[in-house]
Structure 1
Amino acid sequence: MNLEKLSPVLRQYEFFEDLDACQVKPLGAGLIHETFLIESPNGKYVLQGFNQEVFQYPDRIAFNLEQLYTNQIADNLPFELPLPLLNENGEQLSTVDGKNWRVFPFVKGQTLEQISSKNQARNAASAFAEFSKAGTELKVDILKETIPDFHRLDLRFERFCAVASGMERKLDSEEESILRFYLNQKPLIENYKETTQKLPLRLTHNDTKINNLIFSESLDRVKALIDLDTVMPGYLLYDFGDLVRTVACTRTEISTDWENLRLDESVFEALMEGYLSGLGNLVEKEERESLLLGGEVMTCMMGLRFFTDHLQGNIYYRVNYPEQNLHRAKNQSILLRDLQSKRELLRNLWIKASNHSSL
């Protein structure tokens, strides 16, 4: 998209007064929002086209981000929290031809798709934990659900069972094996329900992939936490669990290298150390212990979502071949099985990290 087509959006911001001197470039490889780097005489900015098919409640997102601003959450963080800049009407969203756009400050640095050191895992986990800790004084119950029931494992399981029971075609042997595996996760579902009833809701990011952080050029520290559209009330086990699922696995969620796909315990340990360090004295033992359940919860939930989508004909997740969601579900089942087989080991690592963080 060129500058001429974007100019009706840019004119709504006073700092883009000299449009002829601006340059526009595509930015990043995100699958959700259309994103551009705008270079202007006043500095660099990020222009983002809002994907309302994925996020159907933009006003809820704007409300939540406004709460982050008014409650000065960024002031309590050792890194940047880039929030949308306001247009000439004092609003976060600028609408042109029915499409919503936002402008963010540009943060120079590097984003990662995979870690190359344990220290990066430790720093990433610490950053997400510090974000939750910074919201301690925020009344999280006023925040809105930007994606309703986003991480509700019990509801994802119910949906999966309903779709599976309504299948008219006969499943092949691989599908049957994966179906039985997830049907047998009922004890995990019950554990999740029982555990979360005892936990407080916190300010959570809810999409704690490594690429939602901007690192310094040297990759030795976190400069910014980004992609805040999923910020809403949640449990800490969601954020920690998705870090385990996406960072501590030896292969990505699209890998079919079944034999080499497993949990990397050393990365898990680094994540736990970083997360507990970032939380500081925020949590008591019960909530701290719930983090151990996080990896299983988030891995199971994504496996259920992938397999449900496969059974429905790949209507939600983009696929490159017909069996990709089936393979994603198999991928997550292998990781989940490994997590469950290493519960005692992971508990010992949790005890070790807990003792270290209390020193």
Structure 2
Amino acid sequence: MPHYSFLSTINQAYGKHWTEDQIHVFGNGHIHQTFLITEDQEKYVLQAFNKNVFKNPETIVDNHQILLDHFPFESLRYQLPLPLKNLSGGLMTVFGEQVFRIQPYVNGICLEDINNPEQAFLAAEAFAQFSLAAKNLELSDFKVVIPRFLDLEWRYQQFTEALDQKEGKLGDDLKELVDFYIKRKDLVEEYRFWVEKLPIRVTHNDCKINNLIFSEDQKKVVAVIDLDTIMPGYVFYDFGDLVRTVACTEGENSTQWSQINVDKSKYEALYQGYTSAGEGFLKQEELNSLHYGGKMMTYISGLRFLTDYLKGNVYFHVQYPEQNLDRARNQMMLLKALNTIYAQ
């Protein structure tokens, strides 16, 4: 059995009497180390916070406190499992160099892939409902958790700087990808257009399908999770991330180039789900930006993969040296498919 040296600190901080046989490693998340704690009929999720990714956890605490104090939870048809307060009123607990938090456990199913358009509709609807429910919160109170996280201009600048620092001649595969991403700089210009035009909203900013919990019958969303990236943003960020991860026929690590395409039925379901939830709330220009969002989020992901490859794979975990190059090609293929189908 693993030894959980932090357990006595957690028990003291939260007034608990948990034992090591009540704790088990939980989930397959890539950011935080996560455990499930079972206490009689209750279950809790304990996380060891990853400060290498989120370097200023206090900004997340501040944002979560705003939600706890002011968010209209009753307006949602699902749960937002935010951290529980310890006995001192804090949302995080320090143990040595580690930071821990405890959240309610929500019973249900986390999907890694969407199986049908109906689930795509529910996913998009849920994320849009979050921004809708947060519409009256004071935006200026929210902290930026990861500065310039989805700033396409900055990501393109990082790419060109990494390219300038690359030593030696580019191989054919690398040159092909570099040329493609440079030629699509028009998406950077369009980014400037939209951010000057659109209102800022409270957005989730990490709209992956596994950041939802579905009911056991998979007929409804019972929780939106992974709430660390909640901060001010644009609705095309959230919709675009759904398009990139749900509507693509292959995952981002696939090298089946000829199989990478857009599942039109899932795409349309995402669009219908997001726009139906935002009806009467989203402005017309926000609705007009959604198709751009899919292309923008695909492009920015490809840029980040390619930039990391140029830098020597220092950010994204890779299983082989060329994986970030393959990921960038994967996103290139998806972007080509999106541009063919949704050129507007």
Alignment TM-score > 0.5, same fold: yes
CA RMSD of aligned residues (A): 1.3
Partner of 2:315: 316
Does 1:44 pair with 2:43? yes
Task: Output the CA distance in 2 between the equivalents of 1:116 and 1:188.
Answer: 30
Structure 1 window deviating more from structure 2 (162-171 vs 32-41): it is 162-171
Give yes or no for contact 1:46–1:106 (8 Å, CA) kept in 2: yes
Q: CA deviation at 1:19?
A: 2.5
Q: CA deviation at 1:48?
A: 0.3
Aligned residues: 343
How does the TM-score come out when normalised to structure 2?
A: 0.97
How does the TM-score come out when normalised to structure 1?
A: 0.93
Give yes or no for contact 2:3–2:20 (8 Å, CA) kept in 1: no
Q: CA deviation at 1:120?
A: 0.7
Q: CA deviation at 1:73?
A: 3.4
Partner of 2:153: 154
User: What is the SS of the residue equivalent to 1:7?
Assistant: helix
Task: Output the CA distance in 2 between the equivalents of 1:73 and 1:189.
Answer: 35
Structure 1 residues 263-302: aligned runs within 5 Å: 263-302=262-301
Deviations 1:67-95 (A, max 9, x none): 11111332221100000000011000100
Does 1:183 pair with 2:182? yes
Give yes or no for contact 1:12–1:87 (8 Å, CA) kept in 2: yes
What are the ranges of 5 or more consecutive residues in structure 1 without an aligned counterpart?
Answer: 348-359
Task: Quote the sequence identity (%).
Answer: 44
Give yes or no for contact 1:64–1:231 (8 Å, CA) kept in 2: yes
Task: Output the CA distance in 2 between the equivalents of 1:246 and 1:30.
Answer: 16
Amino acid at match of 2:260: L
Task: Output the CA distance in 2 between the equivalents of 1:10 and 1:289.
Answer: 51
Partner of 1:10: 11
Task: Output the CA distance in 2 between the equivalents of 1:254 and 1:101.
Answer: 31
Structure 1 residues 134-145: aligned runs within 5 Å: 134-145=133-144
Partner of 2:232: 233
Task: Output the CA distance in 2 between the equivalents of 1:72 and 1:209.
Answer: 22
Partner of 1:326: 325
Structure 1 residues 1-359: aligned runs within 5 Å: 1-3=2-4, 5-14=6-15, 16=16, 18-20=17-19, 23-41=22-40, 43-344=42-343
User: What is the SS of the residue equivalent to 2:229?
Assistant: coil
User: What is the SS of the residue equivalent to 1:295?
Assistant: helix
Deviations 1:250-299 (A, max 9, x none): 00000000010011111100000000111121012111111111001100
What are the ranges of 5 or more consecutive residues in structure 2 without an aligned counterpart?
Answer: none
Deviations 1:127-155 (A, max 9, x none): 00000000010011221110000000111
Amino acid at match of 1:177: E
Closer/same/farther in 2, CA of residues 295 and 20 from structure 1, 3 Å limit: closer
Give yes or no for contact 1:3–1:23 (8 Å, CA) kept in 2: no
Task: Output the CA distance in 1 between the equivalents of 2:129 and 2:251.
Answer: 26
Task: Output the CA distance in 1 between the equivalents of 2:94 and 2:5.
Answer: 16
Give yes or no for contact 2:24–2:35 (8 Å, CA) kept in 1: yes
Give yes or no for contact 1:153–1:189 (8 Å, CA) kept in 2: yes
